[in-house]
Chains A and B, each alone.
Chain A
Amino acid sequence: MVLQGVFIIVSLFTLLSALMVVTHRNLFISALFLVSTFFGVAALYVLLEAEFLAVAQVLVYIGAIATLIIFAIMLSRGMMQGRTSPYNAQAMWAGIGSVVLGLLLLYVVAFQVDWPVTDAKVPADTISNLGAALVGHYVIPFEVASVLLLAALIGAVMIAREKEY
């Protein structure tokens, strides 16, 4: 009962901030709302008993991604707000389409499918298992991801740096 109440509050918070993210005219504000959305999601993770992921979420999304985004926004501050409408020509259609899609999805996940839910508990040593799995059974994806990160890092530097020509 309590949990459900908490869940409802958290998810409402999350969704509302998400809505602000996509609607707010001021990009900086919506970036801040993005941060709060991330927080909400992290809270959801906690409710899902995935503390590790929650913290990782905070660390990566807020600590790195959101910060980066805000940084970029500041760098290009001049043309962030005002000047032109934040929406493009197809905004209305997009809205309608999105709503329809959302309704469809809700319908599907809520009523159509009944998922094979088990009420097994999360084992206590999940995190150590996770670590073992990351360097054991899932080592290839793990390594690939790290290589991807490195490539992205170098690529970002190469793309963004001032070309002297």
Chain B
Amino acid sequence: MDRALFPDGVERCSFGKFVLWMGFISAFFLFGLYAMLLIFYKGIVVTGLDNYFGFGLWITFDLAVIALGAGAFFTGFLKYILKIDQLKNIINLTVIVGFICYSGAMLVLTMDIGQPIRAWFGYWHPNVHSMLTEVIFCITCYCLVLVIEFVPLVLEQKQLNKIPFLHHLAHNMHVNMALFAGIGAFLSTFHQGSLGGMYGVLQGRPYAFREGFFIWPWTFFLFVLSAVGCGPIFTVLCCTLMEKMTGRKLVDFKTKALMGKIAGTMLTVYIFFKILDTWAWANNYLPSVGMTFDQMFYGVIYGKWLMFTEIILCGLVPAIMLITPSIRNNPTLLYTAGILDCIGISLNRYLFTVQSIAMPILPFDNWQFYAPNWAEWATSGMIVAYGILVMSLSYRYLPVFPQERGMNK
């Protein structure tokens, strides 16, 4: 019945089936929404956060999705600035993924602060020394950029596009997309970095603190690299997942492999510096504050295995897999590497968030434990559900994949 709204010449599942699917996802969304409203009403006392863990699942989740959403700005940068034309096959998807990740992250942040009514203080009374201020500015600005990048795609929807004004608008926006891509790349680089900087400047948290260059601790640069090292491949994984679910070819493997190569290259650079950084941290910084590498870990849940998983299994390994053409060009291995990559980066964000504040700094204090409660899970789930909803709608009604028509003849 909604066939008239489909992009030209493509097949979509029956409306009933679609409604069913959307209903299923909406259930999660609504549950999360309930949790969110409860949090606004009662305050974050309803979460599992406490005096030791002011940061928890939410911040980890934010950092992870923002890193994974980095595909948008980086691919955009390559496509529009470095003019790698082949990326046009997947650029739309990266934009949508980016948009979902960033808008989602912002929603979580408004929940995460104790006084949402004052959220705007971040702009009105900014502290220019705070990495967080920088994050607030760039994330919101970049989110706007993503909206601008998303709009033309929406306007190209078959029916809307019939309206001359909208048609021209979309066209003109496309023409200037390079500009937005440029701005996006700039903004994004900075806040990805600042997210890392946020932890790097924590002088009281030896696990996270890093020396650095000028005002930027090393984590600043490591976070940028790690983001671009996983963003592109995450888009590929999303795309592949959609292909598996819809049973239609959406992007040719050549493009995916290219994305893999891009991610792989960046990941390699990242992991190289990450290892250097970790080495210097363990052998130089820690002793200078009277601590040892072993003191940074505890038991199983804060064990060393986490760091090794992050750096070796989910860092070095996927990096090698992705830069080796023979491996990269095998779909299964590409996806495996991609998954490892994404896990590694998310784990990195988790460790910087939770491990660094779980660790006792006062010699007479103890390790503390944190478990997110239902409210945090539900709201995080809500963001995921929201993402799936947006993605489903976009896939069904928008011309996201230029190759789809040709590939599914």
Asked if A and B are interacting partners, one says no
